[in-house]
Amino acid sequence: MSLHKYQPCPAITPQRKKSLWYKTVPLLDATHSTMKPPTLLLLLVLHCESVLLPPSFKKCSRNQPDLAKCMREAAAFNMHQLVHPFRDVQLPGLKPLKIPALTIGSGKRAVAVEQRYTDCNIYGFDHPEFDTFQFDLQEKTLNVDVRFPEVTKNCKYQLNGKVMLLPVVGEGESTLVLKDARISGYLDYEEDKRNGKTHLKFIDHHLALDVGHVYFHFDNLFDGQKELGDNINKILNDNWRDVFDDVKEGYVQVVNTIIQSLLTNFWQKVSLEDALDPH
């Protein structure tokens, strides 16, 4: 994963802040076949100007006895608000989350084709159901257990290879739906002390992805030959578990990188003191 390096901030004007927002280029590249770490560059290149938590966000105190419950509820409440970007805290809109390009590499069994996607719109990350969202301030970890009832990925695709030993070729529009998607595990972070405040940089992730069901659809397979295309789509969906499990690690890397990048962007702007100290 690639993150911006920190440099001293020049004077920031409202006009310059707006221009910095639009200078960044989102890029997501997760290639399972080579286990290449995905790269996600999102949001502002500006890291060193601290801001307060948005007033509409739920806030907790690290001294309150029900901190774990408060953090869990705050994470869900605040993510529900991301129907539009919160630029001051470096969070994009999640309805949808836009990813210009991503690649899921070939698997080892059922999927012998590299999946190339562009112009992706991902829906569903704005409806989390958290069982756990808890900082361990001693171990410097964030423990997460969250369920998304449905995540939908709409992208343009390019395929040229084999699935279940059958040839598959085409390009066009595609849909992937993950039902009952659960992400669980923990992320490691480093503390970044600036101006008497503690900011966080997430440096590693140990997250797992489980799904209850997966639905695939690829338009225009075999140059629009409907019978052949319908047959491949049926085979994919009849064998969804084998197909998805064979390339799941690629999707795990995509999800992990999105979460790690969003958390780092946010906590580089909002300090632990401003988010968790008594108010």
Residues 124 and 166: their CA atoms lie apart, in Å, by 32
Q: Which residues contact 135 (CB under 8 A, 6 or more apart)?
A: 71, 141, 142, 143
- The answer to whether residue 217 scores a pLDDT higher than 90 is yes
In a domain, 8, yes or no: no
Q: Is this prediction's pTM over 0.85?
A: no
pLDDT of res. 48: 53
CATH code, domain carrying 221: 3.15.10.30
β-bridge pairing 166-194 and 129-136: unpaired
3-state secondary structure of 236: helix
User: What are the φ and ψ backbone dihedral angles of 187, each rounded to 5 degrees?
Assistant: -125, 140
Best CA proximity match to 157, nearest among 143, 169, 145, 144: 169
pLDDT band with cut points at 50, 70 and 90 for residue 50: confident
pLDDT in tens, 244-255: 999 999 999 888
CB 130 within 8 A of CB 71: no
CB 90 within 8 A of CB 43: yes
- What average pLDDT does range 18-39 have in this prediction? 37
Residue 195 belongs to domain spanning: 14-276
In a domain, 204, yes or no: yes
In a domain, 1, yes or no: no
Residues 119 and 225: their CA atoms lie apart, in Å, by 24
CB 102 within 8 A of CB 122: no
- The answer to whether residue 34 scores a pLDDT higher than 60 is no
**In the chain, how many domains are there?**
1
**What integer best gives the mean pLDDT of the chain?**
83
In a domain, 104, yes or no: yes
pLDDT band with cut points at 50, 70 and 90 for residue 277: confident
In a domain, 255, yes or no: yes
Both tokens of 278, joined, read 């008594």
Residue burial 154-173, b: 16+ Cβ < 10 Å; e: rest: bbebbbeeebbeeebebbee
In a domain, 2, yes or no: no
The residue whose two tokens read 């064998």 is 239
Residues 74 and 81: their CA atoms lie apart, in Å, by 11
Determine which of 2-6, 9-13, 121-125 has the lowest per-residue pLDDT on average: 2-6
- What average pLDDT does range 105-114 have in this prediction? 93
In a domain, 226, yes or no: yes
In a domain, 5, yes or no: no
> Which stretches of the chain are assigned E, i.e. beta strand?
28-31, 36-40, 97-104, 111-112, 115-123, 129-136, 141-163, 166-194, 197-210, 213-218
| Sequential DSSP letters for 81-134 | TTTS-BGGGTB---TTEEEEEEEE---SSSEES-EEEEEEEEE-TTS-EEEEEE
